[in-house]
Amino acid sequence: MSRICICVMNGTAQNNELLLKEISSLVKGYDFSVFWNLSYEEPFLDRYRKENQVVFSLSDSDRYDNCEMLLLPDKNSFNGQSNSVSFSARMHCLANFYERVLANCTSIDVFIGNSGLEFSEFEKKSIHISDFSSVTNCLNTAVPPDLHLSINK
């Protein structure tokens, strides 16, 4: 089962086409990629697509739409590879990225976990962006929880 990191932007002020270009440009400064057209159908996204909200997925590379390496806990491996960047450093990068995304909307919903889950299977937490890195420490384990983070500025 693949690990996912999907973001839903709430209350965007910009035209979606301009916003997509801005986020695509922003992600280039980090060590991950963005997918606008998800390669898999997540059951929990139906409610957001009906509301025509901006949805995107972060991934480890531009080849695969998943986050196996980005979300890999310290001292673990995936397909024989470990991540040379510490988990806390990766979460700090995500926090910086999401803080910049928040400049374009009122809040974001971030789903971090296993692919294929229903909305109710995610553990929901409402947080301020400054708490992102500390809240995501619980993901640095061999069996991490599936989180739905509602993040505000």
In the chain, where the domains are located: 3-152
**Pure H helices in the chain:** 16-27, 46-50, 87-101, 132-135
Q: What is the pTM assigned to this prediction?
A: 0.90
> Would you say residue 38 has pLDDT above 80?
no
For 60, list phi and psi in degrees, rounded to 5.
-70, -30
Q: What is the mean pLDDT of the chain?
A: 87
Q: How much of the chain, in percent, has pLDDT values that exceed 90?
A: 42
- Contact predicate 109/119, CB 8 Å: no
b or e along 48-70 (b: 16 or more beta carbons within 10 Å of the residue's beta carbon)? beeeebbbbbbbbeeeebbbbbb
